[in-house]
Amino acid sequence: MMITRTAMTAEHRPSHHPETGALVDYAAGTTSQAAGVMIASHLALCPVCRGEVARLEALGGAMLEELPPTPLASADIDALLARLDKLDAERPSFAPERQPVAASIVIPRPLRDYLGDVDVGGDLTALPWRKLGGGVDEIEIRQAAGHGEHLRLLRIKAGSTVPRHTHDGNEMVMVLAGGFTDASGHYLRGDVGVSDTRVHHTPVADSDTNCVCLSYTDGPLRFTGPVGWILNRFIRF
């Protein structure tokens, strides 16, 4: 099935979102760096989730204010300050854009910070794409990768089909340009598809333009179609 509805306009609002638990983790500051870049990039494009994260942050702040004060010994204070300094040094260097991103800007700011000096107006051809085969190219964003986690840009040739697969872990894929469809629906700019070991799908890029996505995974992809056992021997993703 090929879908051609890929027009990106300022009026388009994402209709597919990260799971609530991922937004709660982000608001609480407990998300990993790779997952945080994904969530922050979605927030830049999604007013619904921006509002939800703001609500969760306010709720968390109100709950902290209601906790009774607990006296600390001097040694405990020193240990706490040292821990806070360590956490501040380890804090991921991304921040969500609180204002909507113009439709002409393909790469949201939280992700731009990891790509260096690129043309954010839409010309991504100068980036160091690596061919995976089957009309799919990738760029691994190693600066944001964590233990067992990967953050990648994917470029899927217009009309190409990604072979049927599942994931030995969790995946979030957000469309930056173009679009794709699978059994769960049609995904356009800002939409996030969420998959895990229970999902087996065959994404198809829209037929009139390449689909560029941001992909977060914490486990490898595993092909499951008729030739999946062959693809798994030659493609590691």
Nearest to 94 by CA among 177, 19, 32: 32
Chain-centroid distance, C-alpha 38: 3
Q: Does pLDDT of 164 surpass 90?
A: no
pLDDT of 105 > 80? The answer is no
Q: Which residues of 209-227 are buried (b: 16+ CB within 10 A; e: fewer)?
A: bbbbbbbbbbbebbbbeee
pLDDT at position 91: 45
Rounded average pLDDT over 229-233: 60
- Least confident window among 50-64, 139-153, 212-226: 50-64
pLDDT at 5: 42
Angle, in degrees to the nearest 10, between helices 47-66 and 33-45 = 120
pLDDT in tens, 4-25: 343 444 457 899 999 999 999 9
Q: For domain 1-237, say whether CATH 3.40.710.10 is its number.
A: no
3-state secondary structure the chain: CCCCCCCCCCCCCCCCCCCHHHHHHHHHCCCCHHHHHHHHHHHHHCHHHHHHHHHHHHHHHHHHHHCCCCCCCHHHHHHHHHHHHHHHHHCCCCCCCCCCCCCCCCCCHHHHCCCCCCCCCCCCCCCCCEEEECCEEEEECHHHCCCCCEEEEEEECCCCECCCEEECCCEEEEEEECCEEECCEEECCCCEEEECCCCCECCEECCCCCEEEEEEECCCEEECCCCHHHHHHHCCC
Mean of the per-residue pLDDT values of the chain? 78
Q: Is the pLDDT of residue 212 over 90?
A: yes
| pLDDT per position as a tens digit, 59-100 | 865 555 555 666 656 665 666 566 656 545 544 444 555 555
